[in-house]
């Protein structure tokens, strides 16, 4: 078995995100933002700019006229939305599919994007920033990409273990590696210097006991963002957004469902919004 310390060291050896994305992440906790300077820096990366503008002009945002520059997109959609889109485009470009690796990259990204859009749709109803929720939802399973791309031979054993024991992926990863994608993903978001609340959401998106503690007002409650990502991950599995035949829906504790206190109308609008955004995001973000 590969030592967990060696896996975490591998995370630290991964390339950093582009400098402009690091600057954007730093602005999450700042008020004094010069959007003109940041827009100019984003525009220097033509591929990143093209993807971001394509998303900004997608049907989800319903703009009356087409935006053609990052600064114009910021003016119309707001800086927070554009920061989220730029970060999303950069993260997905950091892991390119490898045909020599036995892993369904398309299904992975479909689930990641599905979780992101579910988190974005659910967040306002739970008092959480939707752009932060989208980013955390997109990142929540990135630890799996680290494991399968850096340790491909060992990761084949994860798939075999999952088939043999009919279990969820995180349980198979723990059996093979002694660490799961949530822990690896938390290390990656720390390496990339994402805000603490996003690191916590990535680390805790499978921890049912924390979700129940928060739902019931326990003293050791997880951050609210963690609850949103926890729920969004379940919704994305339940809506079969990955398209995988053997996808399994994680159990949802009754206490958590009751604590959300959303009526049928709220759930219907959440699903409708998520499905519309999912189509647009998949077209642009899927590598």
Task: Give residue-wise pLDDT tens across range 220-251.
Answer: 443 489 989 999 999 999 999 998 877 888 88
Residue 135 sits in the same domain as residue 35: no
Tens of pLDDT, residues 117-129: 999 999 999 889 9
Residue 31 sits in the same domain as residue 45: yes
Residue 192 sits in the same domain as residue 149: yes
pLDDT of residue 245: 78
Residue 110 sits in the same domain as residue 87: no
Band (pLDDT 50/70/90 cuts) for residue 215 is low
- Helix/strand/coil (H, E, C) string of the chain? CCCHHHHHHHHHCCCCCCHHHHHHHHHHHCCCCCHHHHHHHHHCCHHHHHHHHHHHCCCCCCCCCCCCCHHHHHHHHCHHHHHHHHHHHHHHHCCCCCCCCCCCHHHHHHHHHHHHHHHHHHHHHHCCCHHHHHHHHHHCCHHHHHHHHHCHHHHHHHHHHHHHHCCCHHHHHHHHHCCCHHHHHHHHHHHCCCCHHHHHHHHHCCCHHHHHHHHCCCCCCCCHHHHHHHHHHHHHHHCCCCCCCCCCCCCCCHHHHHHHCCCHHHHHHHHHHHHHHHHHHHHHHCC
User: Which residue, of 93, 128, 147, is where some domain finishes?
Assistant: 93
pLDDT of residue 70: 94
Tell me, what CATH number does 258's domain have? Answer: 1.10.3210.10
Residue 65 sits in the same domain as residue 101: no
Tens of pLDDT, residues 44-59: 999 889 989 998 898 8
pLDDT of residue 167: 87
Residue 62 sits in the same domain as residue 102: no
User: Which residue, of 63, 93, 123, is where some domain finishes?
Assistant: 93
Q: Which of 19-28, 178-187, 214-223, 252-261 has the highest mean pLDDT?
A: 178-187
Residue 64 sits in the same domain as residue 146: no
Residue 77 sits in the same domain as residue 180: no
What distance in Å separates the CA atoms of residue 125 and residue 123, rounded to the nearest whole number? 5
Residue 242 sits in the same domain as residue 215: yes
Residue 217 sits in the same domain as residue 272: yes
What distance in Å separates the CA atoms of residue 151 and residue 11, rounded to the nearest whole number? 12
User: Which residue, of 64, 93, 122, is where some domain finishes?
Assistant: 93
Within a 10 A sphere around the Cβ of 200, how many other Cβ atoms? 19
What is the domain range of residue 31? 18-93
Residue 276 sits in the same domain as residue 164: yes
What distance in Å separates the CA atoms of residue 164 and residue 161, rounded to the nearest whole number? 5
Contact 118, 235 (CB under 8 A): yes
* Domains in the chain, number: 2
Residue 41 sits in the same domain as residue 8: no
Tens of pLDDT, residues 71-96: 999 999 899 899 999 999 899 888 87
């Amino acid at each position: 078995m590969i030592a967990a310390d060696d896996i975490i060291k591998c995370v630290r050896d991964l390339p950093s995100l582009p400098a402009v994305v690091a600057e954007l992440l730093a602005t999450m906790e700042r008020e004094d933002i010069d959007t003109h300077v940041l827009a100019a820096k984003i525009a220097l990366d033509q591929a990143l700019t093209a993807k971001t503008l394509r998303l900004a002009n997608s049907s989800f945002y319903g703009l009356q006229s087409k935006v053609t520059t990052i600064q114009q997109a910021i003016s119309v959609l707001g800086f927070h939305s554009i920061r989220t889109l730029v970060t999303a485009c950069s993260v997905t470009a950091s892991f390119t599919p490898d045909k020599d690796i036995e892993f369904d990259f398309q299904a992975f990204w479909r689930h990641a994007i599905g979780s992101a859009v579910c988190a974005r749709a659910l967040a306002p109803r739970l008092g959480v920033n939707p752009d932060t929720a989208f980013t955390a939802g997109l990142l929540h399973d990135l630890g799996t990409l680290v494991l399968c791309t850096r340790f491909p031979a060992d990761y084949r054993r994860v798939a075999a273990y999952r088939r043999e024991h009919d279990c969820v992926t995180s349980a198979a990863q723990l059996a093979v590696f002694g660490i799961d994608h949530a822990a690896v993903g938390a290390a990656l978001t720390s390496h990339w210097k994402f805000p603490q609340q996003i690191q916590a959401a990535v680390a805790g998106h499978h921890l049912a006991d924390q979700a129940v503690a928060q739902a019931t007002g326990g003293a050791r409650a997880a951050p609210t963002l963690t609850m949103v990502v926890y729920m969004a991950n379940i919704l994305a599995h339940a809506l079969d957004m990955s398209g995988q035949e053997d996808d399994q829906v994680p159990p949802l504790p009754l206490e958590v469902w009751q604590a959300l206190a959303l009526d049928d109308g709220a759930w219907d609008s959440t699903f409708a919004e998520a499905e519309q955004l999912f189509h647009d995001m998949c077209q642009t973000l899927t590598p």
